[in-house]
Amino acid sequence: MPPNRRIDPTERAHLRDAAGYSPPIHRFAPTPEVADLVRRYWMPVWALPEGTRSVQRVLQYPVCLIVVSHEYALLVGPSSGLSTQELAGEGWALGTMLQPAAGSLVWGDSVDTLTDRAVPLTDARGLDGAALIDAIRDAVGADPLAPDGQQRAVTAVEAALSLLLPVDEEGLLVNAVVEHVEGDSGVQRVGQVCEKFAIGERTLQRMTQRRIGLSPKWLIQRRRLHEAAERLAGEERPDLARVAADLGYADQAHFGRDFRTVTGLTPGEYAAEPRPR
């Protein structure tokens, strides 16, 4: 099997910390064989001075995550708000961003029972969590920056997840729905999604609740906030009224309330923070 391709996508979901710091992050694409189950892998490796802490902030996508570090191993459910992770000292973590279809397959239950929660990976009924944890830590070993070890760790995840293939028909549909909403800024109403996929609104609600633990309306709002965060983090200070209008908000006040409710910051406050370093 060929190695996983290294990628460096613009990660608009990652808001960095308040001082503009983000650790080096090594990212990998899934192989085509598991693309229905995995969006991508990421592996931050950090070394902070003694006494220094960094709180990384993420506007999570509507998916579950598998995160295995040198200290913990978790299955992380979708977060309806802002996710944070405090970094200190030296460490690493290998994250797997699952596809929307994969959460319920890994968890072994409806994803709405995982929303805004993180559980030990060993609680997941869809895979052998203990064996996967050992395989990842053995692969990374004492040098988390070694490319060969990173590749072996990603390969271990793919081997574990491949046992869940093939993805069922509903899973493929929810993957397509989420990809459509995330990729088309013209989608502003749930009815547009129903029309695109010839599906009733109640059926769509039940499917997204079961497979991603969130509502179709949430999908649209999160896409807007991802776009907003990307615009606000640009080199040029944005025109907030124009950003609000471009994202389909009735006015700047509605945009500001949505952004602050989720991030704890006004758009202006976020735009004024230091840029990544």
Q: What confidence score (pLDDT) does residue 19 get?
A: 62
Q: What confidence score (pLDDT) does residue 237 get?
A: 77
Q: Residue 72: which residues within 8 A CB-CB, separation 6 or more?
A: none
Q: Which amino acid is at 111?
A: V
User: What would the pLDDT profile of 26-56 be if each residue is shown by its tens digit?
Assistant: 999 999 999 999 999 999 999 888 888 888 8
Q: Which amino acid is at 3?
A: P
What is the C-alpha to C-alpha distance for residues 117 and 102, in angstroms, rounded to an integer? 16
What is the C-alpha to C-alpha distance for residues 44 and 19, in angstroms, rounded to an integer? 17
Q: Residue 233: which residues within 8 A CB-CB, separation 6 or more?
A: 12, 15, 16, 270, 271, 275, 276
Q: What confidence score (pLDDT) does residue 189 get?
A: 93
Dihedral angle sign, alpha carbons of residues 85, 13, 37, 104 = positive
Q: What confidence score (pLDDT) does residue 48 get?
A: 86
- DSSP secondary structure of 150-217: HHHHHHHHHHHHGGGPSPPHHHHHHHHHHHHHHH-TT--SHHHHHHHHT--HHHHHHHHHHHTSS-HH
Angle between helices 169-183 and 201-211 (to 10 degrees): 100
What is the C-alpha to C-alpha distance for residues 155 and 138, in angstroms, rounded to an integer? 12
Question: Model pTM?
Answer: 0.89
Q: What confidence score (pLDDT) does residue 275 get?
A: 62
Q: Where are the beta strands (DSSP E) in the chain?
A: 6-7, 25-28, 38-47, 53-58, 65-69, 73-76, 83-88, 90-98, 118-120
Closest CA to 125 of 100, 107, 102, 104: 107
Q: What confidence score (pLDDT) does residue 83 get?
A: 81
Segments in the chain below pLDDT 70: 1, 9-21, 275-277
Q: What confidence score (pLDDT) does residue 191 get?
A: 96
User: What would the pLDDT profile of 159-177 be if each residue is shown by its tens digit?
Assistant: 999 999 999 999 999 999 9
